[in-house]
Amino acid sequence: MVHGGFVFCSGSIGMNPQTNSIVEGTIADRTTQALTNLSKVLEAAGSGADKILKVNIYVTSMEDVPLMNEAYMAFFAEPRPARACVCVKALARGTDVEIECTGFI
């Protein structure tokens, strides 16, 4: 959704858009895919990953945070967006990471 010069993206999971299946591998692989998916949504709205201001990340295990964080740090250049990371009991389709963001146009 675009409003007032901002793009609000709902949660994205590490799903391959061609196969409609969750990416295999580690949480780092699914984090990278989720961020790539969000980037494409942002680009379609006239924004991009470099214009993300805030990210909310949901994980199903705090033990996975270091691997997720490696992928997150590799994806974004400095200055990285503000972010929160919350551990939840379960996520859609049984995945282990979901990411939502707010960017500007």
* CATH number where 43 lies: 3.30.1330.40
For the CA atoms of the chain, what is the radius of gyration?
A: 13
Domain that holds residue 77: 2-104
The total domain count for the chain is 1
- What is the arithmetic mean of pLDDT over 51-55? 98
pTM of the model: 0.95
Contact of 105 with 45, CB cutoff 8 Å = yes
Spatial CA neighbour of 101 closest among 71, 46, 57:
57
**15-49 pLDDT tens trace:** 999 999 999 999 999 999 999 999 999 999 999 99
pLDDT number for residue 73: 98
Report the mean per-residue pLDDT for the chain: 97
- What is the arithmetic mean of pLDDT over 1-25? 96
pLDDT over 90, % of the chain: 98
Using DSSP, state whether 60 is helix, strand or coil.
Answer: coil
Q: What is the DSSP string of 10-40?
A: EEEESEETTTTEEPPS-HHHHHHHHHHHHHH
Residue 65's H or E segment, with its range, is helix 65-75
Indicate left, alpha or beta for 18 from its phi (over 0: left) and psi (-120 to 50: alpha): alpha
